[in-house]
Copies of this chain bind each other. A is one copy, B any other.
Amino acid sequence: MDAGELKKILKGISDGSVSIDEAMEKLRNFPYSDLGFARIDHHRELRTGYPEIVYCAGKTPEQVRAIFTVMQEHENNIIGTRAGKELFEYISPFFPDALYHDVARIISIQKKRLTPPPARIAVITAGTSDIPVAEEAAVTAELLGNNVLRIYDAGVAGIHRLVDKLPEIRECRVAIVIAGMEGALASVVGGLVNMPVIAVPTSIGYGASFQGISALLAMLTSCAAGVTVVNIDNGFGAGFSASRINRM
């Protein structure tokens, strides 16, 4: 709620067009719907520039359905992440427009399509097993109105595979680098480009990869400046942040 809106309400009181109780109500009545188990924040699109994204893991199908229903009434675009196939099958009959992105595990309902800016977001993975996280990032970025350049399986053990794609990467405006195991790809890309790099550690690996901790630590301590990091397997977060940067 910014100073302009506030002034308008106060003026309304002053000139009698708004009663004190109405003002109280307006100041108090934040624009969200209370479902009891979930409060949907319709205001967020204004406040943070994007609609609320529904993190489906840990919610019952009934809860997700109820949340979607309220969101739909407000004509929001809907993005549901970490959504299993079964959830989509339950949800689908109620929302005929819903699409399922199965590798990304995302359900989307798009009411208004956003015009992408000219530059793309590069989404690069070290290995084949990192693709589901990469797709979560790429699909998120696309749904939020961006074009994406996908480069998968370009890991450090064969650097020439990455070098080959550098000219195309350098035309992007943000790079998302996704790697498990030792996560070295983030440092290598970070040393070769001059755009913001968002690194996503994945839980791919075994033993001392500790479900992504090794990659996470490696990315946080990268010797390449310009690299920032999100949570393990958080493709959504990377896609969301990249979109914020790309659409500035």
Contacts and interface: CB of A to CB of B under 8 A. Distances in A.
A69 interface: no
Interface of A: 1-3, 6-7, 10-11, 13-14, 16, 20, 23-24, 27-28, 30, 32, 36-39, 41, 43-44, 47-50, 53, 55, 57-59, 63, 126-129, 131, 152-161, 163-164, 167, 170, 173, 181-184, 186-188, 190-196, 198, 201, 203-234, 236-238, 240-241, 244-245, 248
Contacts of A154: 39
Contacts of A194: 47-50, 244
Identical copies in the complex: 8
B39 A158 contact: yes
18 contacts: A30-B163, A30-B164, A44-B158, A50-B225, A57-B129, A59-B129, A127-B223, A157-B191, A159-B159, A159-B188, A182-B182, A182-B218, A206-B232, A207-B233, A208-B217, A208-B221, A208-B232, A245-B248
A101 B41 CA distance: 29
